């Protein structure tokens, strides 16, 4: 009994010592950082206003920012994310050395006009607020390179956005935009434009003037067409158009010679354009949940393809030409009506993941044993009653899905013994 009491006492002392030690380390780190110009306490910062280069407050439940913030004349970085701010004082415009502002996760409904006085500002993060409009003075931020306005309530953008001539990244996801101002075409240095989860029905023709654009994300809108000149965006590498209203594949996409990733899932496509086969640098193609009844033959000519997703379509046959995709690493064909696979599937020597869940397969080709790099194979919910003996050659398999097939489930233990690297699925 005494031993246990002594032991418990020592344990408690050790825990208290560790807590105290951690507190002192944190305090020392904070003091060290304050000596470097970074402050984590507003009151301390206001006591030493000219020493403050960065002010970072997290979840301190601020509802207002005091006017005295203007005293921090050397402030370069202001981080106030996760507070309860609803407004900003106009005095913020006097912080002439500010280069970065992070006000994400607040309750801001508006910005003061004085925000436009911050001529050195390079990054402005306002995601997850309640903004419905932006002041036209935002256009005065001539050095702004990145602005994040995601997760707000914006219904429009001011025309003055055209004045942001240094802007490279523009984030507008999860707003209520129905259109973009034509002035957006004046953002000559823009590289990344993200407008997912809005209500866009059309893109202005002026978008084609964004000649430096590398990534354009338009998922979850109401687009049915693209500007005819979209093919002029010759630096575009990533184009996301999933969950829109495309019935016809936009031919102009075929002229995007540097395109590496194309996402068109959850549309109403039934055929691809002949022009799509010109996308010789394409590595990622997602066409899930469209209306293809036959495998798009154009796909088999995309020699650099690494990742192909065609889940949720209606084709019954995989063409022999699939074997031409020598660089393919990921092939997802779940929820189709496949009854067989061609022997040429064995030519996909670099394939790592093959998913065929919920088809109508009754047999697998012997050549499947040639997929020596395969790590993931999902055959669940088909009509297979046996597996070819060649499947035992797949010694790199980490996952083998055989659910929903009673004939194979009864042999599950015997089958799994053949693959020593299989990992049990986590519940």
pLDDT at 184: 97
Least confident residue range of 217-221, 253-257, 258-262, 406-410: 406-410
Q: Does 182 score more than 60 pLDDT? A: yes
- In the numeric block, the tokens 């020598």 are attached to 326
pLDDT at 210: 98
Is 9 or 416 the better-scoring residue by pLDDT?
416
Measure CA 83 to chain center.
25
Question: What kind and span of H or E run contains 240?
Answer: strand 238-240
Q: What is the 3-state secondary structure (H, E, C) of 363-423?
A: CCCHHHHHCCCCCEEECCCCCCCCCCHHHHHCCCCCEEECCCCHHHHCCHHHHHHCCCCCC
Confidence of residue 58 (pLDDT cuts 50, 70, 90): confident
Is 77 or 298 the better-scoring residue by pLDDT?
77
Least confident residue range of 182-196, 334-348, 412-426: 412-426
Q: Is 167 inside a domain boundary?
A: no
| CB 140, CB 113: distance < 8 Å | no
| CB 160, CB 136: distance < 8 Å | yes
The residue-averaged pLDDT of 30-43 equals 76
- In the numeric block, the tokens 């523009």 are attached to 170
Q: Is 60 inside a domain boundary?
A: yes
Q: Does 410 score more than 90 pLDDT? A: no
Confidence of residue 273 (pLDDT cuts 50, 70, 90): confident
The residue-averaged pLDDT of 122-132 equals 98
The residue-averaged pLDDT of 309-334 equals 97
Q: Does 277 score more than 90 pLDDT? A: no
Q: Is 94 inside a domain boundary?
A: yes
Three-state DSSP class for residue 339: coil
The residue-averaged pLDDT of 238-265 equals 96
Q: What is the 3-state secondary structure (H, E, C) of 48-102?
A: CHHHCCEEECCCCCCCCCCHHHHHCCCCCEEECCCCCCCCCCHHHHHCCCCCEEE
d(CA 35, CA 174): 40
Q: Does 191 score more than 60 pLDDT? A: yes
The model's pLDDT over 79-92, given as tens digits with 9 standing for 90+, comes to: 999 999 999 999 99
Least confident residue range of 266-280, 298-312, 320-334: 266-280
- Residue 419 token pair: 């693959």
d(CA 187, CA 24): 49
pLDDT at 423: 78
Q: What is the CATH number of the domain that holds 79?
A: 3.80.10.10
Q: Does 33 score more than 70 pLDDT? A: no
d(CA 269, CA 31): 60
Q: Is 133 inside a domain boundary?
A: yes
pLDDT at 16: 67
Domain with 148, as residue range(s), is: 28-153
d(CA 288, CA 332): 9
Is 420 or 232 the better-scoring residue by pLDDT?
232
pLDDT at 24: 54
pLDDT at 272: 87
Confidence of residue 32 (pLDDT cuts 50, 70, 90): very low
Confidence of residue 4 (pLDDT cuts 50, 70, 90): very low
Q: Is 180 inside a domain boundary?
A: no
| CB 80, CB 59: distance < 8 Å | no
The count of domains in the chain is 1
Residue 68's alpha-carbon distances to 48, 79, 95, in angstroms, are 12, 16, 11
Q: Does 225 score more than 60 pLDDT? A: yes
Confidence of residue 5 (pLDDT cuts 50, 70, 90): very low
The residue-averaged pLDDT of 235-250 equals 97
The residue-averaged pLDDT of 388-414 equals 91
Confidence of residue 3 (pLDDT cuts 50, 70, 90): very low
Q: Does 10 score more than 60 pLDDT? A: no
Q: Does 6 score more than 50 pLDDT? A: no
d(CA 265, CA 374): 25
Least confident residue range of 2-11, 148-157, 302-311, 351-360: 2-11
Nearest to 424 by CA among 416, 415, 384: 416
The residue-averaged pLDDT of 123-150 equals 98
pTM here is: 0.89
| CB 186, CB 164: distance < 8 Å | no
Q: Is 248 inside a domain boundary?
A: no
Q: Does 55 score more than 50 pLDDT? A: yes
The model's pLDDT over 358-368, given as tens digits with 9 standing for 90+, comes to: 999 999 999 99
Q: Is 240 inside a domain boundary?
A: no
pLDDT at 71: 96
Please give the mean pLDDT across all residues of the chain: 92
Strands 399-401 and 376-378: parallel
pLDDT at 419: 87
């Amino acid at each position: 009994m005494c031993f246990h009491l002594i032991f418990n006492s020592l344990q408690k002392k050790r825990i208290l010592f560790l807590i105290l030690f951690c507190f002192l380390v944190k305090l020392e780190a904070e003091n060290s950082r304050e000596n470097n110009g970074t402050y984590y306490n507003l009151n301390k910062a206001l006591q030493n206003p000219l020493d403050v280069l960065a002010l970072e407050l997290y979840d301190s439940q601020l509802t207002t920012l005091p006017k005295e913030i203007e005293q921090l004349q050397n402030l370069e970085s202001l981080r106030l994310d996760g507070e309860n701010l609803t407004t900003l004082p106009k005095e913020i415009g006097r912080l002439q050395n500010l280069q970065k502002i992070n006000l994400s996760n607040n309750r801001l409904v508006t910005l003061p006009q004085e925000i436009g006085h911050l001529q050195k500002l390079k990054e402005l993060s306002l995601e997850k607020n309640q903004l419905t409009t932006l002041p036209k003075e935002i256009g005065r931020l001539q050095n702004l390179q990145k602005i994040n306005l995601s997760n707000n309530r914006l219904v429009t953008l001011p025309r003055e956005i055209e004045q942001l001539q240094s802007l490279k990244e523009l984030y507008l996801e999860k707003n209520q935009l129905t259109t973009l101002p034509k002035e957006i075409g004046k953002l000559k240095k823009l590289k990344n434009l993200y407008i997912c989860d809005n209500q866009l029905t059309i893109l202005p023709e002026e978008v084609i003037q964004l000649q430096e654009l590398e990534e354009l994300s338009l998922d979850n809108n109401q687009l049915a067409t693209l500007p005819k000149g979209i093919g002029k965006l010759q630096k575009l590498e990533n184009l996301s158009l999933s969950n829109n209203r495309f019935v016809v594949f936009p031919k102009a996409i075929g002229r995007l010679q540097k395109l590496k990733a194309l996402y068109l899932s959850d549309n109403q496509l039934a055929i691809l354009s002949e022009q799509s086969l010109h996308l010789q640098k394409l590595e990622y193609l997602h066409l899930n949940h469209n209306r293809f009844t036959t495998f798009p033959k154009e796909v088999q000519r995309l020699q650099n393809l690494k990742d192909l997703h065609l889940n949720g379509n209606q084709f019954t046959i995989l063409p022999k030409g699939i074997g031409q995709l020598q660089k393919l690493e990921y092939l997802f064909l779940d929820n189709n009506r496949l009854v067989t696979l061609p022997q040429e599937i064995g030519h996909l020597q670099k394939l790592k993941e093959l998913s065929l869940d919920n088809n109508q397969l009754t047999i697998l080709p012997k050549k499947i044993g040639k997929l020596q790099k395969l790590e993931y194979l999902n055959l669940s919910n088909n009509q297979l009653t046996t597996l070819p003996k060649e499947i035992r050659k797949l010694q790199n398999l980490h996952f083998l899905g055989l659910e929903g097939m009673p004939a194979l489930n009864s042999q599950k233990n015997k089958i799994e013994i053949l693959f020593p690297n299989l990992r049990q699925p986590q519940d």
